[in-house]
Amino acid sequence: MFCKRFLPVLKYRNRNTQSIQIRTVQISVIGAAGDIGSNLAMLLKFNDKITRLHLYDNDEKVRGVALELAYIPGGPAVAAFAGEQHLPSAVRDSKLVLMVSRVARKLGSTREQMLASNAPPIQTLCKTISKHNPEAFLAISTNPINSIIPFASTLLMSYNCYNPFKLFGITHIDTARARAFVGDALKVNPRKLQVPVIGGHSDETIVPLFSNIHPGGYTIDANRADMLTRKLRKAGVEVIINKQGMDSATMAMAWSINEFTAAIVNAINGAEVTVNSYTANPHYGTRFFSGPINVGAQGIIETCCNFNMNNYEWELLQKSLPVLNRDITQGEEFVHVVESSGHDYS
């Protein structure tokens, strides 16, 4: 499942989370005034391993979100930062910066349109992090993930701040949904299951591996696997339709990002954890790839490779790779579009 030696300089490992050393962990949420950001911030408020929570948004409403959370007893101290001039203060000294800000996906929106809309705030954040917190873990949930992470990587490289082991595209929503669907199909508790989802994060590139459900002993037949795969790939669109086309998934996104964050906080504290993420990964013939990865205190330790797949899953993966490569190239090349526009979004 995992390819060791992807990060050979990192050899520290501790799977016993009970013995990890609790450190000061400050987290920044970029886009905290939106529905995903505010719901995520509330969930993070209940994580006692986080000592300080920085909430940032261009919308002044973020101050009200922070004030509400400050009135909840316990948990991390909360501070609000509104306006671009305060972004450096919002990210400075944070161990993990979570980018959840985005223009919501609407019915009929193309991935090119989403990239054009969401690239500018990513550029601003990358430039700010390069100047004020280059050692931070940076995790992005902004769509289109397949292109945004290569876009961010290229930007950070141009700012001499690219660390492939600390940049994550959060695709935890895919495995969260897969677990929910499998749990419902098998009538078991989905929170006790792990379902790897590999490939990318789009209708054409999501590849759930229902043949790799953990713990073992659970079986999804071929017809049901095909049905669940189609359902997983269309889950985002289904939410938009049922929200009358006005917004995309927010609560499930916040929940899955919170689960991702809780694991990363444990990693920062010294444990080795597994999360589903879209990261630099050359093992499938693409420069970036999504799947379960192992993370430690210094970043990614192992990326996924060599899954045992059935014929159906293998064919899905082969069809997804050209699409994934196209999306990656599009994101990398969009840096030139942004730079040639003459605008500096920082």
pLDDT higher than threshold 80 for residue 17:
no
- 256: CATH: 3.90.110.10
Q: Are residues 110 and 205 in the same domain?
A: no
The winner for highest mean pLDDT among 112-116, 168-172, 235-239 is 168-172
Question: Which string of DSSP letters, residue by residue, matches 147-197?
Answer: HHHHHHHHHHHHTT---TTSEEEE-HHHHHHHHHHHHHHHTS-GGG-B--E
d(CA 152, CA 138): 10
Judge if pTM exceeds 0.75. yes
- The per-residue pLDDT for 102 is 78
Longest dimension (CA), the chain: 57
Q: Are residues 181 and 149 in the same domain?
A: no
Q: Are residues 138 and 81 in the same domain?
A: yes
Query: Which of 139, 170, 201 delimits the end of a domain?
Result: 170
**Least confidently predicted of 12-21, 99-108, 210-219, 336-345:** 12-21
pLDDT higher than threshold 60 for residue 25:
yes
- The per-residue pLDDT for 217 is 87
Is 7 contained in some domain? no
Query: Which of 154, 170, 186 delimits the end of a domain?
Result: 170
Domain tally, the chain: 2
Reported as a pLDDT band with limits 50, 70 and 90, residue 133 is very high
Q: Are residues 55 and 165 in the same domain?
A: yes
- Asked whether 20 and 270 are in contact (CB, 8 A), the reply is yes
Nearest to 324 by CA among 281, 282, 286: 286
Of 54, 172, 174, 327, catalytic: 174
Reported as a pLDDT band with limits 50, 70 and 90, residue 172 is very high
Cis peptide before 8 (omega within 30 of 0): no
Q: Are residues 125 and 57 in the same domain?
A: yes
Q: Give the pLDDT mean for 206-214.
A: 96
Give yes or no: 57 in active site. no
In sequence order, what are the beta bridge partners of 29?
A: 55, 98
pLDDT higher than threshold 70 for residue 3:
no
pLDDT higher than threshold 90 for residue 239:
no
d(CA 244, CA 189): 30
- Rg of the Cα atoms in the chain: 19
3-state secondary structure of 245: coil
- 47: CATH: 3.40.50.720
The half-sphere exposure of 57 on its side-chain side, counting CA atoms within 13 A, is: 22
Domain, as residue range, for 50: 22-170
Q: Are residues 199 and 111 in the same domain?
A: no
- The per-residue pLDDT for 249 is 83
Query: Which of 141, 170, 199 delimits the end of a domain?
Result: 170
Give yes or no: 132 in active site. no
Of 86, 201, 283, 344, catalytic: 201
**Least confidently predicted of 226-240, 284-298, 308-322, 330-344:** 330-344
**Side chain identity at 70, as an amino acid letter?**
A
- The per-residue pLDDT for 255 is 97
Is 13 contained in some domain? no
Nearest to 328 by CA among 209, 236, 215, 199: 199
Q: Are residues 278 and 139 in the same domain?
A: no
